[in-house]
Amino acid sequence: MEHLEPDPVRARFPRVLITGAGGQLGTALAEEFPWADARPRGGLDVAGPLPVAEIPDLVLHCAAWTDVDAAEGDPDGARAVNVLGTRRVVELGAPVVYYSTDYVFDGTKGSPYVESDEPNPLSVYGKTKLDGERELELEDGWVVRSSWLFGPTGHNFVRTMLRLGAERESVRVVADQRGSPTYVGHLAGATRALVSLPYGLHHVAADGDCTWADFAEAIFEQAGLPCRVERISTAELGRPAPRPGYSVLRSERPGTPRLPHWREGLAACLARLRAR
């Protein structure tokens, strides 16, 4: 009879709460932490009181206002979720993994951002996510900055490009923003390793970097779609919220999990979508 080794993460954190479990990262985390109490927004809205029966041993805090452009028009709404909601989660008294963003930087460095670099967000979204980071004290848990998340569920760039690529001969995509597209499955897996590390700030993003236009071309190539990418500037796109032109993240901290290349993440994501 096969003997199954006990899961050390589950043994250390038998009661795990996932906020924002209906989103793409929350869905991936629920797969990595299958014993967790995974709460979508309808089951736990962090913008209001948190009806939690008992204090968890660990909170994976994914709930966030992620609509970057809409935040410019509703800064109070973004703050209510990203800052005040995080404060309520921290007040539960359990260690927290808070997922933050590359948009806390202004993009002027021109080389990968590490944990000791000073943030300077350009957008309301970036500012509220940075303020959310500051709701965690050093003894409260882990802040995880990642970038350009995508996965087989939820609203994200890969799923949008697959839809547009199947409908059109060409799409216009920004070619002057550079980052590291990160597969949520890889980030969720890295979270299991992360919670064995000391509390603190960690940059956890895919290896490699590209522009949005490069990413779109790779999506069409791997998916076998003949759609052509028309490269445009951020100014031509005309979005309300400013974005950093360069926001590649790397870690300078020993032990921080390293993720596979973004192309490997894309292949894994497309394989999941085909399986569905």
Which percentage of the chain shows pLDDT scores above 90? Answer: 85
The first and second tokens of residue 179, run together, are: 């980052």
User: What token pair was written down for 79?
Assistant: 């703050």
Alpha helices in the chain (DSSP H): 8-12, 24-32, 68-73, 75-79, 85-90, 124-133, 157-167, 184-194, 212-223, 234-237, 262-275
CA atoms in the 13 A half-sphere facing the CB of 72: 10
Sole residue written with tokens 């890889």: 186
Are 62 and 19 contacting, i.e. CB atoms less than 8 angstroms apart? yes
Report the alpha-carbon distance of residue 128 to residue 251 in Å, rounded: 22
Cα angle value 203/207/213 (rounded, 5°): 110
Flag whether pLDDT at 94 surpasses 80. yes
**What is the tens place of the pLDDT at every residue in 7-56?**
899 999 999 999 999 999 999 999 999 999 998 877 777 877 777 777 89
Check if 113 is active-site: no
CB atoms within 10 A of CB 240: 12
In this prediction, residue 43 carries a pLDDT of 74
Mean pLDDT of 176-191: 97
Total length of the chain? 276
| SS3 assignment, position 17 | strand
The model's pTM: 0.94
Classify domain 8-156+181-207+247-260 at the CATH class level. alpha beta
Bridge partner list, 219? none
Q: What are phi and psi of 243, to 5 degrees?
A: -120, 150
Instruction: Please determine, for residue 214, whether its predicted confidence score (pLDDT) is greater than 70.
Output: yes
Catalytic pick among 113, 125, 183, 246:
125
